[in-house]
Amino acid sequence: MPSPYRALFAAPGSKAFSTAGFLGRMPLSMMGIGVVTMISELTGRYGLAGALSATIALSAASAGPQVSRLVDRYGQRRVLRPATLISLTAAAVLLCAAHYAWPEWVLFVACVGIGCVPSVGAMIRARWAALYRGTPQLHTAYSFESVVDEICFVFGPIVSIGLSTAWFPEAGPLLAACFLAAGVFWLTSQRATEPVPHPREHRGGGSALRSPGLQVLVATFVATGAIFGAVDVVTVAFAEEQGRKAAASLVLSVYALGSCVAGAVFGLLRFARAPERRWLLGVCAMAVSMIPLLLVGNLPFLAVALFFAGLAIAPTMITTMSLIEEHVPRAQLTEGMTWVSTGLAAGVAAGSSVAGRVIDAAGARAGYGVPAVAGAVAVAVGFLGYRRLKRPAPGRGGSVGQHSEREERHVA
């Protein structure tokens, strides 16, 4: 591991909370696809399976920011444990309902409860911010967390699908629930690195989404999420048209690998310019990288195109986290991070739905027009909101990007 990453873990407790965060984030990539696999294996009804997965995603998008807002106010331990217990109870009901063929409405109610799962990634990033706020190390920490996210999305679906098909249908969601319980309860037992809650700052205050800068980031990431959701669905359909549907998971893993490599390298760099410029450049790069997908003719070409497309993802996400620090009050940092994830999740749901309709009407190759259009929308929103991003929230006292810039100019 390069020395900047090794230096991150010199802080006491950082290895423990990072490992707990990895375990707690695995369900993010395992539960949805695990439910799809479980229901399709037990009933053969892909329509029901997709509807249940979408219910989990929409419930998480609604509940996630509210859970994180409570975390900012009362602390991670006091909020995450009850929220996780609700989610785990709902998961147990879902597994029993699926196994014993209970009424469908029970399945949907259980999926709504599962959506109370906390945004563990935001909790870990908040701990890094508490340790390294105002230093260049925070940029490296956010980069490391983006790499961890991609690792989860590479291996999580493979493990979940593999267990549910090779062992028993409920195995994938069951393991996801175990990861969630182990990760969250281990994380919340680590009190020394838990960010200090800010109950007074929340009295009479509104949502973090009132920040104009955060509104731009969330709106842009709705369009960005549509890119991700559409690419996933269209790639599966394209692989099926090519007679190699099983290869879709490998091709999508290459997409995540590109992001993982870029995130690791990006964390080693230091920048002198304002982060909003890098962010807008990253959004543009994601949009442009969708154009070659319109020309794909075979799976090897698609894999290469997706690898290069993935190179723009992690750097853009990392810069987004730095911008959130500028535009959201410190007392609402966790909520702000979760709102971006919520926008991303909403976009994924919309992108996958629209792409599915285009595929049914015109075929998989035409489906790649959906992420291309979504990329253009993301760029348009980014340019229209750029001025808001250049005006940090009052009283922030500088972000990681601003502090890093000052330090580098001093050294120079």
- Report the CATH number that the domain containing residue 352 is assigned in CATH: 1.20.1250.20
What gap in Å lies between CA 304 and CA 308, rounded to an integer? 7
Last-in-domain residue among 191, 217, 248: 191
Q: Enumerate residues 6+ apart whose C-beta is below 8 A from 50.
A: 36
Reported as a pLDDT band with limits 50, 70 and 90, residue 18 is: very high
What token pair was written down for 181?
């319980």
Closest by CA position to 140, among listed 341, 336, 401, 356: 401
Q: What integer pLDDT is reported at residue 374 of this predicted model?
A: 94
Does 307 lie in the same domain as 242? yes
Closest by CA position to 230, among listed 286, 280, 281, 308: 286
Does 212 lie in the same domain as 181? no
Question: What is the number of other CB atoms lying within 10 angstroms of the CB of residue 66?
Answer: 15
Does 89 lie in the same domain as 149? yes
89-103, 209-223, 240-254: range with highest mean pLDDT: 89-103
Does 228 lie in the same domain as 158? no
Query: pLDDT at residue 203 above 70?
Result: no
Q: What is the pTM of this model?
A: 0.76
Reported as a pLDDT band with limits 50, 70 and 90, residue 95 is: very high
Q: Which stretch of 40-44, 47-51, 64-68, 165-169 has the lowest confidence by average pLDDT?
A: 47-51
Query: Structurally, how many domains does the chain consist of?
Result: 2
Query: pLDDT at residue 403 above 70?
Result: no
Give a yes or no: residue 4 inside a domain.
no
| Share of residues in the chain with pLDDT > 70 (%) | 91
Does 158 lie in the same domain as 257? no
Does 145 lie in the same domain as 112? yes
SS3 state at 76? helix
Does 222 lie in the same domain as 186? no
Does 222 lie in the same domain as 175? no
Does 133 lie in the same domain as 248? no
Taking only the tens place, the pLDDT of each residue in 250-300 is 788 888 888 888 888 887 777 767 788 889 999 999 999 999 999 888 889
Does 173 lie in the same domain as 84? yes
Does 99 lie in the same domain as 49? yes
What gap in Å lies between CA 93 and CA 49, rounded to an integer? 16
Give a yes or no: residue 396 inside a domain.
yes
What gap in Å lies between CA 27 and CA 45, rounded to an integer? 23
Q: What are phi and psi of 347, to 5 degrees?
A: -65, -40
Does 353 lie in the same domain as 240? yes
Structure-token match 């075929």, residue found: 363
Give a yes or no: residue 8 inside a domain.
no
**Domain range holding 372?**
207-412
Query: Which sign does the torsion angle of CA 259, 219, 388, 120 carry?
Result: negative
